[in-house]
Amino acid sequence: MELFDNLVLGFSTALLLQNVLYCFVGVLLGTAVGVLPGIGPTATVAMLLPITFAFEPVTALIMLAGIYYGAQYGGSTTAILINLPGESSAAVTALDGHEMARQGRAGPALAAAAIGSFVAGTVATVVLAVAAPPLAAVALAFGPADYFALVLFGLVVSISLARGSPLKALAMVALGILLGTVGQDIYTGTPRFVLGQRELYGGIDFVSVAVGMFGIAEILRNLENEHDRPALLGRVTHLWPTREDRRRIVGPILRGTGLGAALGVLPGGGHVLSSFTSYAVEKRISKRRDEFGHGAIEGVAGPESANNAAAQTSFIPLLTLGLPAHPVMALMVGAFIVHGITPGPNVINDEPELVWGLIASMWIGNVLLVLLNLPLIGMWVRLLRIPYQVLFPMIVLFAVIGTYSLGFNAYDVYAIAFFGLLGYVLIKCGCEPAPLLLGFVLGPLLEENLRRALIISRGDPTVFLTRPISAGLLLLTATALIVVALPAIRRRRETVFTEDD
């Protein structure tokens, strides 16, 4: 009964005209950036974060969330039509989706992606609504030592799930934590690593780091590797799948939804991992294994369901523990903090309208996406023809104006340029910037709980081992480090992202 009351509260908040409007704006922008290769939801949320500061907290979060799961929808459109995934998790959709398009079956492929995404989004929203309150209740039993162990575990797991070298991912997390310590000491107020710059006394601005590392750096990378984008051949017709197609996609949609809902809560690229895992599962259990890679509709429905379910269940650790499971969730933490809300287990009790309004808005957003995506496919394809030389200067200008408007301080603009160049150099060195952002966001939380636990225990470090929760989490952290370090497991981990490519 309590769940029903909470959902009524959520829908009464989400259905307010301004919230529906900004939910629509969010999913529209999310679909657009999912369609446009090289931008992505992380960069978009980072660059739009400044303009949401004038909104009510629930309105801002509904819009930012819409951008994220809208991008999961949009990424499949260009993957299917022109074999160019707009979002990383849509890469596997291109394997069979584009083959279907070449065979004149782009319509059924797009419809399968849309139906799977809607079903997965609906189920994941229910999972989020059911799982969030009990997890928040459990989290209230956590002390400082337990939170320290939990944050440490989240950072280590994000390393184990990151693509590329685990050592580079670890270095990025360490650099992020180091950048998070710049400013005044949280207990003594002593300036640390400020290099004599008064602007750094309050710490490095989160928005400047996010916009620079994800927005500017990605734009520089895309300008360097500019390529001609192929045009769509012919019109997209016959959107609705045949009866046989509908029969074949039921199982993959259900299995993909289950996989995505489970893997979405993992720190790191849960939505990417779930789509590739779903594809591998469908290929292994299919009676038509030889069709995969040549236009199997199961290879579209399963991964698309998985990545959309994962996109929404990734909100579970954010809303219950205050831990981001994905770089976009790290930006959402920043949005919470900017609006004066501390993310964590108390949010559900302290801000019920915000939490349940956000959850209810996800279902509304999924309905809007289905109504939006199929009729506007032609427009998204035309957007792909905008030259990079026109598109990217507009994005940079928008990002700079938005960040400058936060405090009307030119220092923030210089910070964007610095972190943009730093992010570009890191990308060229094969380092993912996502672990750095997670370390930057979680580093202060890690330090605060470490020092608080030691103060309470009067400097006794065994407090982390004598509490059952923290001891268990530290054991899991050590296990995750061993998994990353073992050569055989590391090789298998790296092939997850190239399964049957």
Q: What is the DSSP letter of 194?
A: -
pLDDT band, residue 464 (cuts 50/70/90):
very high
Residue 399 has pLDDT above 80, yes or no: no
Helix (H, G, I), strand (E, B) or coil at 72: helix
Name the residue among 26, 62, 335 with its Cα closest to residue 206: 335
- CA 101, 107, 113: angle at the middle one, nearest 5? 95
Neighbours of 103 (CB within 10 A): 12
**Higher model confidence: residue 374 or residue 288?**
288
Given this model, what pLDDT does residue 496 score?
45
User: Which residue bears the tokens 């501390």?
Assistant: 342
Mean pLDDT of the chain: 80
Two tokens at 23?
Answer: 């939910």
> d(Cα 361, Cα 168) in Å, to the nearest integer?
37
Q: Is residue 234 part of a domain?
A: no
**179 part of a folded domain:** yes
Q: Which two tokens mark 286?
A: 């299919």
User: What is the residue whose two structure tokens read 């972190």?
Assistant: 419
The DSSP output letter for 374 is T
Nearest to 116 by CA among 146, 89, 88: 89
Q: What pLDDT score does 255 carry?
A: 92
Asked whether residue 233 is domain-assigned, the answer is no
The string of pLDDT tens digits covering residues 69-97 is 787 777 777 778 766 665 666 767 878 88
Q: Tell me what pLDDT residue 235 has.
A: 54
452: containing domain: 2-226+239-498
Structural domain contains residue 231: no
Answer whether residue 231 shows pLDDT above 50. no
In a domain, 41, yes or no: yes
CA torsion sign for 335, 340, 346, 348 is: negative
- Residues facing residue 183 across a β-bridge: 192
Q: What is the rounded average pLDDT of the residues 233-254?
A: 76
**Comparing 242-256, 414-428, 478-492, which segment has the lowest mean pLDDT?**
478-492
Identify the pLDDT of residue 291.
84
- 55 in any annotated domain: yes
- Name residue 146's amino acid: D
- Span 438-444, average pLDDT: 82
Q: What is the domain count for the chain?
A: 1
The answer to whether residue 460 sits within a structural domain is: yes
Whether the full predicted model's pTM is greater than 0.75, yes or no, is no
As given in the structure block, the two tokens for residue 99 are 């083959």
- Name the residue with higher pLDDT: 380 or 5: 5
Name the residue type at position 120: A
- Is the predicted pLDDT of residue 5 greater than 50, yes or no? yes
Calpha distance 18→331 (Å, rounded) = 22
pLDDT at 234 over 60: no
Q: Tell whether 97 is covered by a domain.
A: yes
